[in-house]
Amino acid sequence: MTPTYYLLLSALLFTIGAVGVLVRRNAIVVFMCVELMLNAVNLSLVTFARLNGDLHGQVMGFFVMVVAAAEVVVGLAIILSIFRTRRTASVDDSNLLKY
Amino acid sequence: MSVMSSVLFLAQVQPVPSPAPAKIDPPALDAVWPILIVLAAACVGVLFEAFLPRHQRWPAQVALSLLALAGAGVALATYLSDAPEAGEMAMFNTLAVDRPALFLWGTLLALSVGAVLLIADRSVEPGGAFVATAAIRPGTVQDRAQVTATGMQTEVFPLTLFALGGMMIFCAANDLLTMFIALEVLSLPLYLMCGLARRRRLLSQEAAVKYFLLGAFASAFFLYGVALLYGYAGSVRLADISAAAAGTDRSDTLLFAGMGLLVVGLLFKASVGPFHTWTPDVYQGAPTPVTAFMAACTKVAAFGGILRVLQVAFESTQWEWRGVLWGVAIASMVIGAILGLTQTDVKRMIAYSSVAHAGFLLIGAIALTDRGLSGTLFYLLTYGFTTLAAFGVISLVRDSSGEATHLSQWAGLAKRSPLVAGVFTFLLLALAGIPLTSGFVGKFVVFEAAIDDGMAPLVVIALVASAVAAFFYLRVIVLMYFSEPAADGPTVTVPGAFTTAAITLGVLVTLLLGILPSFALDWAAGGAFAIR
């Protein structure tokens, strides 16, 4: 087992998530990309825990999961409320605030 | 039978007594009572929402919030009277309760009193600035009815207290995991509060979505930075990262990639420089009392975190990263000053002003000296109160559709209400940094510390940027005093006791710190960060 591969996979997943946030149009998909980024971080935390030979990284993974769950609760509530108004979750249509 | 035998079997193979578990002492709480009081009051506030009838919630929540802030203030003062000079670690070394942390806690609590008063006000907008029921869809019959209803979504008070608790933990966090959790505890309630305006609900909801998506994006960057630094140092404690960076046998890639991502997350929260894009939209769309809370308290907490991270964890590597943050500070000042010139909405204008101020604050933060620290802390105190009072004044100028925030509507305001125009002029002059206001003293101490630390070119750029920024503050003053008011212009609402108290608090502190800054400067210079 080479832990470096896991780090590279984690960096790749994080990049896919970041690019997804920047190019996707649907707020739900954007949000899923953010979750992908958080899970990529979890992977590297666990890998570093293995490399460092301690448990802190794994415990931090649990914290991140709990925070991500809380973020889903708040985020979906906000996205749902604007969806009910506009009948669309596209982030391009939210264009009242500019300049 | 089988259970019995396995128990006997276990009893046979484990004759040696297991070693006594390491004794874990309960944490000493005397240093963290302010945080505990605020968070406990927030939990009680949630229970109020669940069990009190609707008409009793507003008085109960306001009383609870103000009592909690007063109680936390008393606890802070009590602790301060015999706090150890060098600071101490609390809650198993996760919180560093040192002089800068205590100063920031006091600042946050005082600013929150003003913000809670603005949030609680029901005289300026009948029923308060918050929607009666957040679930009502904008544009429907129920929505038009709720605009004139007298109730409001009182969950906003516990949300404020939760956010405040998160901010207090954030500026005292001694390791990056605690800092991340605190970042989320302060952000998640703010995302929700942005979407709760009573009027212009589409704008408000849009602000909430933008703030949420960008905020979550930024906290993912912060978290990846934490992971890389954990991989680098084998620990997320700030002092351990500093110690690991001092010995140089490890991969610098991990250190600087991690630091870069971490600092991007922090700069986003502080709305610095190129990471400011959410700031104008969210400041404009959010209900004005929430904008006041965000602009004042989030800035204080975020810069508290930035100061601690830079001074404790990354001081030993400052020669590698300082140039980058020079660039960020310049970008922030230039963006804030130039784009502020083009704004036509007064809330957006103050938002760009806050971006420029974030650049000035960052100059103080990268002067890694004691004077840089105390200057930045003092600047945060002055900026918080001035901007809080400015948003309080903005909420008073209204027409039939709510707040009149377009600058053309402010023309000739001095003829309608000399007092409001005079107060706003004073606050704008303080933001511009004119002598006899706190803004001047704040800029002076920060720039002085920066010159001492060899950053004279940066200070020259900052002076030019503040001269450019002064132009757009003066433009509003000229507009208020030397233009004819429009016939169908806005009216100036006579505020009730709460808003009056909040604005008076902000104006008094701005004036007092402009004339007699020395006592607050002494507090800010009380001591450095505890490094353990």
Domain positions in chain A are: 26-86
Please provide residue B134's backbone torsions phi and psi, each rounded to the nearest 5 degrees.
-65, -20
Compute the distance between CA of residue A89 and CA of residue A85 in angstroms, rounded to an integer: 10
Query: What does the mean pLDDT of chain B come to?
Result: 91
Q: What is the pLDDT of residues B132-177, one digit of tens each?
A: 888 888 888 888 888 887 788 899 999 999 999 999 999 999 999 9
Would residue B15 count as lying in a domain? no
pLDDT band at B225 (very low <50, low <70, confident <90, very high): very high
Lowest mean pLDDT among A48-52, B3-7, B53-57, B74-78: B3-7
CB neighbourhood size of B317 (10 A): 18
Question: Is the alpha carbon torsion for B271, B276, B277, B280 positive or negative?
Answer: positive
Residue B150's CB: how many other CB atoms inside 10 A? 12
pLDDT band at B1 (very low <50, low <70, confident <90, very high): very low
| Rounded-to-integer distance, Cα B24 and Cα B283, Å | 46
Distance CA B365, CA A46 (A): 33
Q: How far is CA B481 from CA B372, B426, B431, in A?
A: 38, 13, 18
Closest residue in chain A to residue B284, using alpha carbons only: A97
Query: Which of A22, A23, A34 should we substitute to test contact with B (largest number of B Cβ atoms within 10 Å)?
Result: A34
Instruction: Give the pairing type, strands B95-97 and B402-403.
Output: unpaired
Question: Is B234 an 8 Å CB contact of chain A?
Answer: yes
The residues pairing with B97 across neighbouring beta strands, listed in sequence order, are B88
Beta-bridged to residue B237, according to DSSP, are: B175
Q: Which residues of B touch A63 (CB under 8 A)?
A: 177, 180-181
Say if residue B6's pLDDT is above 60. no
**What residue ranges in B43-106 does DSSP mark as E strands?**
88-90, 95-97
Which residue of chain B has the CA closest to A79? Answer: B209
Shortest distance between the Cα of A26 and any Cα of chain B, in A, equals: 11
Residue B49 scores a pLDDT above 50: yes
The whole-angstrom distance between A48's CA and the closest CA on chain B is: 5
Q: Does position B129 have pLDDT exceeding 50, yes or no?
A: yes
| Residue among A22, A88, A94 with most chain B CBs within 10 A, to mutate | A94
Nearest to B181 among A45, A63, A97 (CB): A63
Between CA B314 and CA B88 the distance in angstroms is 21
Domain assignment present for residue B442? The answer is yes
B188: Cβ contacts below 8 Å, ≥ 6 apart: A70, A71, A74, B162
Nearest to B177 among A51, A63, A91 (CB): A63
Q: Which of these, B253, B183, B191, lies nearest to B221 by C-alpha position?
A: B183
Determine how many CB atoms are found less than 10 A away from the CB of residue B467: 12
**Rounded CA separation B358/A31 (Å):** 28
Q: Which residue of A has its CA nearest to B221?
A: A37
Q: pLDDT tens digit string along B187-198?
A: 999 999 999 998
Who among B206, B234, B236 is closest to A96 (CB)? B206
Q: Which residues contact B400 (CB under 8 A, 6 or more apart)?
A: none
- Side chain identity at residue B49, one-letter code: E
Q: pLDDT-based confidence at B248, cuts 50/70/90?
A: low
Q: Does A30 contact B213 at a Cβ distance shorter than 8 Å?
A: yes
DSSP structure class, residue B82: T
Terminal-to-terminal C-alpha distance of chain A: 52
Q: Select from B531, B445, B529, B532 the least CA-distant residue to B99.
A: B529
CA dihedral B131, B134, B137, B142 (to 10 degrees): -60
CB B41 within 8 A of CB B161: yes
Question: Quick one: closest CA in A to B344, which residue?
Answer: A99
- For the CA atoms of chain B, what is the radius of gyration? 24
CB neighbour class for B231 (10 Å; exposed up to 12, middle 13-18, buried from 19): buried
Residues of B in contact with A51 (CB under 8 A): 231
Is B247 a residue whose pLDDT tops 80?
A: no
Mean pLDDT to the nearest integer, A64-78: 95
Q: How far apart are CA B25 and CA B263, in angstroms?
A: 35
Contacts with A8 from chain B: Cβ below 8 Å? none
Long-range contacts, stretch B505-508, CB < 8 angstroms, 24+ apart: B505/B113, B505/B114, B505/B117, B505/B385, B505/B388, B505/B389, B506/B114, B506/B385, B506/B386, B506/B388, B506/B389, B506/B390, B506/B392, B506/B427, B507/B389, B507/B423, B507/B426, B507/B427
pLDDT > 70: what percent of chain B? 96
Q: pLDDT tens, B282-309?
A: 999 999 999 999 999 999 999 999 999 9
Per the listing, tokens 């003062």 go with B77
Q: What is the DSSP letter of B273?
A: G
Q: Which of B60, B64, B18, B16 is nearest to B38 (CA)?
A: B64
The answer to whether B231 contacts A51, with C-beta atoms less than 8 Å apart, is yes
Chain B residue with CA closest to A66: the answer is B181
Question: Closest Cα of chain B to A1: distance in Å?
Answer: 17
CB contact under 8 A, A56 and B230: yes
Question: Which residues in A lie closer than 8 A to residue B180 (C-beta atoms)?
Answer: 63-64, 67
B220/A60 CB distance under 8 A: no
How would residue A1 be classed by pLDDT, with cut points 50, 70 and 90? low
- Residue B17's pLDDT band, with cuts at 50, 70 and 90, is low
Q: CB neighbours of B179 closer than 8 A, spacing ≥ 6? A: B170, B173, B305, B309
Cβ distance B191 to A38 less than 8 Å, yes or no, reads: no
The beta strands (E) that lie in B352-425 are given as 397-399, 402-403
Report helix, strand or coil for B270. coil
For residue B501, the SS3 value is helix
**Structure tokens, A1:** 């087992």
Q: Is the pLDDT of residue B279 over 50?
A: yes
Q: Is residue B22 domain-resident?
A: no
Range 62-91 of B in CB contact (< 8 A) with A: none
Beta strands in B262-334 (DSSP E): none
What's the number of domains chain B is made of?
Answer: 1
pLDDT digits (tens, 9 = 90+) for B347-360: 999 999 999 999 99
Write phi, then psi, for B90 (nearest 5 degrees). Answer: -130, 165
Q: Rg of the Cα trace of chain A?
A: 17
- The confidence score (pLDDT) of residue B27 equals 80
- Specify the range with the lowest mean pLDDT, choosing from A12-21, B240-249, B276-285, B410-419: B240-249
Residue scoring higher pLDDT (B8 or B505): B505
